[in-house]
Amino acid sequence: MTGQSRRVRGTDLVWLVAGFTVWAAGFSAVYGLHAVGCRAGWEEAGFAGLSANRIVLLAAYLGHSALGAALYFPLVRIAARWEGLSARTIRQTAIMVTLAAVISTLWTGAPVLFLETCR
Amino acid sequence: MTPTTPVGLHRALDAIWRAPRGIAALSAVNHSVVGRRFIITAFIYFAIGGVLAMLIRAQLARPENPFLGADAYNQIFTMHGTVMMFLFAIPLIEGVALYLLPKILGARDLAYPRLSAFGYWCYLFGGTIILVAMVMGVAPDSGWFMYTPLASSTYTPGINADVWLLGITFVEISAVCAAVEIVVTVLKVRTAGMALSRMPLMAWYLLVTAAMMLIAFPPLILGSVLLEMERAFNWPFFDPERGGAPLLWQHLFWLFGHPEVYIIFLPAAGAVSTLIPVFARTRIVGYAWIVAAIIALAFLSFGLWVHHMFATGIPHLSLAFFSAASMLVAVPTAVQVFAWIATLMRGRPQMSLPMLYLMGFFSVFILGGLTGVMLALVPFNWQAHDTHFVVAHLHYVLIGGFVFPMLAATYYWLPLMTGRLPVFSVSKAAFWLIFLGFHGTFLIMHFTGLMGMPRRIFTYESGLGWDLPNLISSIGGFVMAAGFALFVIDIVLQTRFGRRFRRNPWGGTGLDWAMPTPAPSYNFASLPLVTGRDPLEDNVRLGADIAAGKGYLAGAPRGEMETLCVDMATGEPEHVLLLPKNDYTPFWMAAGLAVFFTAFLLSAYWVAPLGLVIATAFGWRWLWSLGAKSDPALIDAGQGLRLPVHFAVPSVPTLLGLKYFLAANAAFYGSLLFGFLFLWTTAAGWPPQFLNASPVLIAGIAISLAAAAIFATLARRSNSREANGARMIWLAGSLAASLAGLGLLMGLAIMDAPPPDTHAYAAITMAIIGYVILHTLLGVMFAAYTLARCRAGFVSSLRSTDMRGTAIWQLYTAITGIGGLALIILAPGGLA
Ligand code: HEM
Ligand SMILES: [Cu+2]
């Protein structure tokens, strides 16, 4: 596009998997923390009507969702500069996958918003 | 004089590429040969699995049938599932990938021909172990997923379960090898101009599938290793009496098992995406959408495993995550289905034999998807769990989503192998028998299941309403079997008597149809410059141009087997890959492993290490044969292009392969650490006794491992500066540090760690320490190897593969070793 544009490289392919890597990390974190929390008795502690367990899970859920969404901005900025063969396809695909990953993170973790934790 | 006519080029190339005959066939490494071996062996196992299915159906045809007893029935359904999944489906995919990839990517062979040959022997030997066990009546009998405690030594005392654990692990080695092979080949070994965006979709599908295999198989291998350790040496990972957890096995198995379903499905979907545009005479709709969908599918399929454990009393919240993910995974599948339908609508579909099988796929698979969504609903799952409803669903997905597309693919690509077209009427009859027989067997089985008939029971009483549906299922099963028999006959007929044709019978647009048929041993007489997604459409004379040598690397003027390596994204030629000649090393290395596994199976624990020594020796020899003793000159690749040789560039495929292998290895280790955490959070009274590691020892180990990594990196840097004295000193330092680390780790294992057979904590702690010991030992060997290579003159600033590889290995060992030790000592009771 501008004078800064450069050829798309092999390492740029990480953008094809970055979004869902965050999804996977979020999924593992929520699942793992839930198990640890129930085991360690975080259910009892807490404040403002929320158990510590719930707070930790919400933090992991919202944190990973935000992180996944945050990937979008550098991606569009960087991908706009790619040029050469494959640049367009990789850009399109990376953007689609990154957005799909955010939606997936929001969807799969959503049960922490309303289900009881340790039953 | 270098030949320039097509015939001359063919002669020159065929002379060095031709497959060896007679006993020398054991040394063949060419992708066409190895791929064909995989495919044929897989179909033989399909026939065996089919015969077992017929035995099952014969037994269930009538109530209280005295034909098979409970014991035999258990072995038969276990073997049926095991053979179909591990010895038929996965190897068939590997075979198709290995056979096709170079042909569709415009290459002469794969990135590491010897690796896939090695994988084939592992598959053959491992499968043979399992088969021999079945013939001897000691086949595994705990179901294809081998649940503990049923598969523990208390309940399965014989060697039946060991056959499964060892045999399947052996076979899975080949899956990991094939996965590394496929990933690197797709990313690097393509023809000029084959940018990622111009790759046939099949290559994308296989790339994603192989990447999934790298992550999905290690948990299964780990589970098998742990269970075998429990059975052989009494290390109680899964024994609840001693702090273990039977559920850990289920987690490890399904961590593999669900992605496995998609690993099977994706390549089949790749075939669908390839065939539909060809027969609709158009281009695929939504190329980028499909790529995005399969990447999403690959990840999401790892978030589903617990849905096989809905009935195990896991907290509701956890179930909800997995239920949500299970529904989500339908979306990318739907994206592909819409792309296919849109493509059909845009084009002018023509009925042909492969299309007929694709129609079968569509009708069956969609039903299977519907029942799958039903099963993803937790309450329904509790109802249908472990009934024949699940059996019916599973076969709709597997036969609909895998077998039908693969049959279509067989009919599509067989002419490429044989140069002949099918004798149509037989093929059609076969299709209808398979199709009708399939529905006859499995449609009604849904109702049998809803009426409450459990799976895996060897017989049932009359009067429960199950008699008639079972009889119908059995008749349907035999009709389907007749169909498959006809299919085999048809293939044989086609190979022998089929109609000959000149190029491209289906009007395909990919490079696979730009070669003469039957495909020559070297694939392409010269490597074409690709200018779009449909090279044959861009240039209808492409085939003739390639044969006439109007491309890169025409002929074999240097007497070497050559192909191009390209930039991953843009497909610009980077270097020339020199491929290995035929070699017995892969065979002997696999034979060494066969000794190891067989000895272990027969509890000859003192012979087993001998097998490992043999395998290691051949592995060393293999590595030693790479590279050269002097810096190679640039190669004239034709068309005015001069390129370096692969082992004289930093981006050599060998290192890429090492990195992907380490990714699989990390998945293995990650699963082990997951096991540690899992046992800690679920087992009661953890830990019962303490490791009490002395802090000095732990610090010593950490420092040694870190030093080994740092020294190896410094050695690599000295090498690229051509400081040849310094590189030897740093390498020796790395070797010494690894040796020191090894000694200290042994000290930790012997002096501090509690005996591993006392408690699951002790067992899994020892397993982690053992992993680090093994990697440090290999680090010692790599450092020593590279020292020897330097002395022998194989290493220079250009030829730096050995140096880089050792540095990567030592770094990996340091990170995983220090990470694992940190986990152990931070957990309660770790430190004295
Ligand atoms: C050729 C036609 C086939 C027939 C008639 C058939 C029949 C059956 C039947 C009746 C069972 C249930 C046994 C029981 O629970 O008591 C079964 C189980 C199974 N089948 Fe098939 N099958 C066929 C093909 C396949 C194929 C192609 C695959 C995989 C690619 C496959 C994979 C499985 C698996 C994984 C199980 C579960 C085994 C277990 O419970 O451990 N089958 N099959
Ligand atoms: Cu599943």
pLDDT tops 50 at residue B87: yes
Question: pLDDT by residue (tens digit) across B34-62?
Answer: 999 999 999 999 999 999 999 999 999 99
Contact A108 B324 (CB under 8 A): yes
Residue A116 contacts B where some CB pair is shorter than 8 Å: yes
Q: Is the pLDDT of residue A28 over 80?
A: yes
Query: Touching check for B196 and chain A: CB below 8 Å?
Result: yes
Specify which residues B735 forms β-bridges with: none
* pLDDT at B827 exceeding the cut of 70: yes
Comparing B249 with B369, the larger pLDDT belongs to B249
pLDDT (0 to 100) of residue B1: 44
ipTM: 0.94
Asked if the bond preceding B687 is cis, omega within 30° of 0, the reply is yes
Facing residues of B573 across strands? B566
Backbone Cα Rg of chain B:
27
The pLDDT of residue B379 is above 80: no
Interface of A with B in 12-31 (CB under 8 A): 12-13, 16-17, 20-21, 23-24, 27, 30-31
Buried b or exposed e, range B398-417, using 16+ CB within 10 angstroms? bbbbbbbbbbbbbbbbbbbb
Give A-chain residues touching B324 at CB under 8 angstroms. Answer: 107-108, 110-111
User: Per-residue pLDDT averaged across B808-828, rounded?
Assistant: 92
Please give the average per-residue pLDDT across B503-520, as a whole number.
91
Q: Which of B23-27, B367-371, B390-394, B571-575 has the lowest mean pLDDT?
A: B367-371
Per DSSP bridges, beta strands B562-566 and B499-500 are unpaired
DSSP-derived secondary structure for B581-614: PP-SHHHHHHHHHHHHHHHHHTT-TTTHHHHHHH
Q: Highest mean pLDDT range out of B45-54, B135-144, B305-314?
A: B45-54
Q: Name which residue sits closest to atom 33 of ligand 1, judged by CA.
A: B81
Q: Each residue of B171-188: pLDDT tens digit?
A: 999 999 999 999 999 999
- A7 → closest Cβ in B295, B332, B570: B570
pLDDT of residue B684: 65
User: Across all residues in chain B, what is the average pLDDT?
Assistant: 91
Chain B residue nearest residue A117, CA to CA: B317
Q: Which two tokens stand for residue A64?
A: 């990973």
Contact B289 A110 (CB under 8 A): no
**Which chain B positions have a beta carbon within 8 Å of A86's beta carbon?**
195-198, 569-571
Q: Using a CB cutoff of 5 Å, list residues around ligand 2, an ion.
A: B 258
Which pLDDT score is estimated for B315?
73
Q: Where are the domains of chain A?
A: 16-111
Residue B643 clears pLDDT 90, i.e. is over it? yes
> B350 alpha carbon to ligand 1 midpoint, in Å?
33
* C-beta of residue B396 within 8 angstroms of C-beta of residue B361: no
Task: Inform me whether the C-beta atom of residue B624 falls under 8 Å from chain A C-beta atoms.
Answer: no
pLDDT band with cut points at 50, 70 and 90 for residue A1: very low
> Long-range contacts of range B612-620, CB-CB < 8 Å, 24 or more positions apart?
B614/B588, B614/B589, B615/B589, B615/B590, B616/B592, B616/B781, B617/B592, B618/B585, B618/B588, B618/B589, B618/B592, B619/B589, B620/B781, B620/B785
Nearest Cα to Cα of residue B50 among B398, B369, B386: B398
Q: Residue B560, Cβ neighbours under 10 Å: how many? A: 14
H/E element, A6: strand A6-7
Flag whether residue B303 sits within 8 Å of chain A, measured between CB atoms: yes
Lowest mean pLDDT among A36-50, B228-242, B741-755: A36-50
pLDDT at B436 (0 to 100): 96
CB contact under 8 A, A85 and B193: yes
Give the amino acid at A2: T
C-alpha–C-alpha distance, residues B464 and B565, integer Å: 64
Task: Decide if B683 contacts B238 (C-beta within 8 A).
Answer: no
Query: Considering only residues 173 to 192 of chain B, which have any Cβ-Cβ distance to chain A shorter than 8 Å?
Result: 187
pTM, two decimals, is: 0.95
At B247 the pLDDT is 87
Neighboring chain B residues of A13 at a CB cutoff of 8 Å: 196, 568-569
pLDDT for B830 equals: 61
B127 in helix, strand or coil? helix
- B-chain CB neighbours of A89 within 8 Å are 196-197, 287-288, 291
Q: Which of residues 85-104 of A touch B (CB under 8 A)?
A: 85-90, 92-93, 96-97, 100-101, 104
Give the count of beta carbons closer than 10 Å to the beta carbon of residue B507: 13
Give the residue-averaged pLDDT of B751-780: 92
**Nearest alpha-carbon partner for B392 in B415, B420, B367:** B367
Min Cα–Cα distance to chain B from A56, Å: 14
| 8 A C-beta contact, residue B81 and residue B260 | no
Distance of residue B90 Cα from the nearest chain A Cα, in angstroms? 24
| B682 closest CA partner among A6, A23, A40, A53 | A40
Candidate from B198, B291, B299 with C-beta closest to A93: B291
Contacts of A27 in chain B (CB under 8 A): 303, 321, 325
Answer yes or no: are the C-beta atoms of B325 and B254 closer than 8 Å: no
Band of residue B118 on the pLDDT scale cut at 50, 70, 90: very high
Listed residue (B350, B300, B229, B258) closest to B762, CA to CA: B229
Contact B191, B529 (CB under 8 A): yes
* Inter-chain touch B196–A84, beta carbons under 8 Å: no
Measured between alpha carbons, how far is B474 from B544 in angstroms, rounded to an integer? 52
Quick check: B310 pLDDT over 80?
A: no
Residues B361 and B340: their CA atoms lie apart, in Å, by 12
Q: What angle do CA B543, B548, B549 make, to 5 degrees?
A: 105
Q: Judge: A116–B198 Cβ closer than 8 Å, yes or no.
A: no
Is a pLDDT exceeding 60 seen at residue A2? Answer: no
pLDDT grade for B143, boundaries at 50, 70 and 90: confident
pLDDT value at position B829?
Answer: 61
| Closest ligand by atom to B262 CA | 2
What pLDDT, on a 0 to 100 scale, did the predictor assign at position A107? 92
pLDDT of residue B780: 97
What's the confidence (pLDDT) of residue A115?
A: 74
**DSSP state for residue B510 in the 8-state scheme:** S
Rounded to 5 degrees, what are φ and ψ at B208? -65, -40
Q: Is the pLDDT of residue B428 over 60?
A: yes
The predicted structure's pLDDT at residue B145: 82
The answer to whether residue A11 scores a pLDDT higher than 70 is yes
Please tell me chain B's helix, strand, coil percentages from 3-state DSSP, rounded to the nearest 5.
Answer: 70, 5, 25
B445, B469 in Cβ contact below 8 A? yes
Residues with CB under 6 A from ligand 1: B 50, 53, 56-57, 77-78, 80-81, 84-85, 89, 143-144, 391, 394-395, 398-399, 402-403, 441, 455-456, 477, 480
The structural domains of chain B, ordered by start, are 687-826 (1.20.120.80)
- Determine the residue among B201, B299, B306 to mutate to test chain A binding: the one whose Cβ has the most chain A Cβ atoms within 10 Å: B299
